[in-house]
């Protein structure tokens, strides 16, 4: 890819990702309640929010159980992030888990799902007279999801780095096919450059993924099919570099490395794209675990995620072209010395 415009575009996109991705606040949410069980009759509780504005806009508060709502009898605002509420919980809740909802004009609806355990042995509460507001917030903010919380911003770094790795390995795969078809040593050098740079992004993907796992799952690494597949992929491509170093003849090395690279690419697709979808997995988008399109119902993450994917891929291709040019100059220098 010649020209400077796409390099400038990658810089602009990544600056946008860093500034907007790290500077945009998370949306408001309920994160804690003072009790974890409710029973029929009077119940008092305190709830804590995150990035909420209860003091500015007194909230409406209600319980929801199996689609049926019970509004609070009294709500006392304690601060922007805390309120106390009293409920007269009726008998008849049908399910064992009840959610707590709140609404105010600035934050819209916020919810702590399955906040309370309820002995759900009833057949319903009859007429639902609780009328609640459903107007959405108007401010731009990222979704606030339990467990993920602020770490949801890592979506703009961790995932695009793996996409970039896969694009570069696809380039290496194509160049390896060229080697087998034509025996071109330039194509072999291009394949090597693509693998070298892709392993850099793979390492960054592993590091950012490990940090994310520690924050959300409580451990730096778990025995998860997606994580293990990513680690095996890196080892397979590291073996590609070892194979190249063990064959001195350049033409023989090029053909052996090309054959190995083609099989490595197929194994990468199996370990990263296929197997995690066939087994249970903690990783979003694998093994029945919801992907981020289900977390981002108002598409705010997409406004930064798609530019991040394009920006990181362009940066990876830029690094690949620099590596390729360096390798070509080194080859010309070595040939001149041999003469």
With CA atoms as reference, report the closest residue to 192 among 85, 184, 55, 295: 184
With CA atoms as reference, report the closest residue to 226 among 148, 312, 287, 305: 287
With CA atoms as reference, report the closest residue to 140 among 252, 41, 57, 21: 21
With CA atoms as reference, report the closest residue to 22 among 314, 304, 313: 304
Per-residue pLDDT band for 331 (boundaries 50, 70, 90) equals confident
Q: Is residue 15 part of a domain?
A: no
Domain co-membership, 212 together with 306: yes
Report phi then psi at 141, rounded to 5: -155, 155
CB atoms within 10 A of CB 338: 6
Q: pLDDT of 127-173, one tens digit each?
A: 667 888 777 777 788 888 878 889 899 999 999 999 999 999 999 99
Q: Is residue 141 part of a domain?
A: no
Stretch 292-320: mean pLDDT, rounded?
85
Q: Is residue 258 part of a domain?
A: yes
Domain boundary among 97, 117, 137: 117
Domain co-membership, 183 together with 98: no
pLDDT of 3 higher than 90: no
Domain co-membership, 78 together with 186: no
Per-residue pLDDT band for 298 (boundaries 50, 70, 90) equals low
Domain co-membership, 106 together with 158: no
Domain co-membership, 107 together with 161: no
CB atoms within 10 A of CB 1: 10
Per-residue pLDDT band for 105 (boundaries 50, 70, 90) equals confident
Domain co-membership, 159 together with 291: yes
Domain co-membership, 156 together with 111: no
Domain boundary among 101, 117, 133: 117
Q: Is residue 23 part of a domain?
A: no
Mean pLDDT, the chain, rounded, equals 87
Strand partners, 37: 117
Cα–Cα distance between 34 and 84 in angstroms, integer? Answer: 9
Burial status of residue 57 (CB atoms within 10 A of its CB: 0-12, 13-18, 19 or more): middle
Strand partners, 30: 49
Question: Tokens 């394009």 map to which residue?
Answer: 310
Question: Tokens 């409406």 map to which residue?
Answer: 60
Domain co-membership, 272 together with 166: yes
Q: Is residue 8 part of a domain?
A: no
The DSSP letter of residue 279 is: S
Q: Is residue 134 part of a domain?
A: no
Per-residue pLDDT band for 335 (boundaries 50, 70, 90) equals low
Domain co-membership, 181 together with 330: yes
Q: Is residue 321 part of a domain?
A: yes
Stretch 234-242: mean pLDDT, rounded?
93
Q: Are the C-beta atoms of 26 and 137 separated by less than 8 Å?
A: no
Cα–Cα distance between 286 and 272 in angstroms, integer? Answer: 10
Q: Is residue 206 part of a domain?
A: yes
Work out how many domains the chain is built from and give that number.
2
Structure tokens at 195: 């693998």
Straight-line distance from the first to the last Cα atom of the chain, in angstroms, rounded to the nearest whole number: 32
Domain co-membership, 314 together with 204: yes
Where do the H-state alpha helices sit in 115-249? Answer: 158-182, 185-216, 225-245
Domain co-membership, 49 together with 173: no
Domain CATH for 104: 2.60.40.10
Q: Are the C-beta atoms of 84 and 46 separated by less than 8 Å?
A: yes
Report phi then psi at 245, rounded to 5: -75, -10
Structure tokens at 301: 């993450």
Range of the domain at 307: 149-338
Per-residue pLDDT band for 224 (boundaries 50, 70, 90) equals confident
- SS3 letters for 73-93? CEEEEEECCEEEEEEEECCCC
Domain co-membership, 38 together with 178: no
- Most confident residue range from 63-67, 109-113, 309-313: 309-313
3-state helix, strand, coil in the chain (%, to 5): 50, 20, 30
Domain boundary among 117, 139, 161: 117
Stretch 81-87: mean pLDDT, rounded?
94
């Amino acid at each position: 890819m010649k020209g400077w415009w796409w390099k400038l575009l990658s810089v602009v996109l990544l600056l946008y990702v860093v500034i907007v991705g790290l500077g945009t606040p998370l949306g408001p949410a309920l994160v804690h309640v003072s009790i974890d069980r409710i029973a029929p009759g009077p119940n008092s509780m305190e709830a804590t929010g995150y990035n909420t504005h209860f003091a500015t806009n007194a909230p409406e508060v209600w319980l929801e159980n199996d689609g049926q709502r019970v509004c609070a009898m009294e709500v006392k605002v304690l601060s922007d992030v805390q309120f106390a509420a009293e409920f007269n919980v009726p008998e008849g809740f049908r399910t064992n888990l009840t959610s707590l909802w709140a609404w105010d004009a600035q934050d819209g609806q916020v919810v702590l799902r399955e906040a309370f355990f309820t002995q759900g042995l009833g057949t319903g509460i009859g007429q639902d007279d609780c009328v609640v507001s459903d107007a959405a917030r108007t401010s731009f903010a990222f979704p606030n999801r339990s467990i993920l919380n602020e770490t949801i911003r890592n979506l703009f770094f961790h995932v695009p780095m793996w996409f970039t790795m896969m694009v570069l390995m696809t380039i290496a795969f194509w160049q390896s096919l060229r080697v087998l078809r034509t025996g071109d040593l330039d194509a072999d050098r291009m394949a090597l450059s693509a693998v070298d740079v892709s392993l850099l992004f793979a390492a960054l993907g592993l590091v950012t993924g490990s940090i994310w796992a520690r924050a959300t799952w409580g451990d730096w690494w778990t025995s998860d099919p997606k994580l293990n597949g990513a680690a095996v992929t890196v080892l397979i491509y590291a073996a590609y570099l070892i194979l190249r170093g063990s064959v001195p003849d350049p033409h023989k090395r090029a053909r052996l490395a090309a054959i190995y690279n083609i099989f490595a690419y197929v194994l990468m697709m199996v370990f990263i794209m296929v197997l995690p979808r066939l087994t249970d997995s903690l990783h979003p988008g694998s093994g029945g675990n919801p992907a981020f399109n289900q977390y981002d119902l108002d598409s705010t993450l997409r406004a930064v995620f798609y530019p991040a994917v394009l920006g990181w891929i362009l940066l990876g291709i830029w690094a690949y072209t620099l590596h390729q040019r360096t390798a070509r100059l080194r080859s010309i220098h070595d040939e001149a010395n041999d003469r």
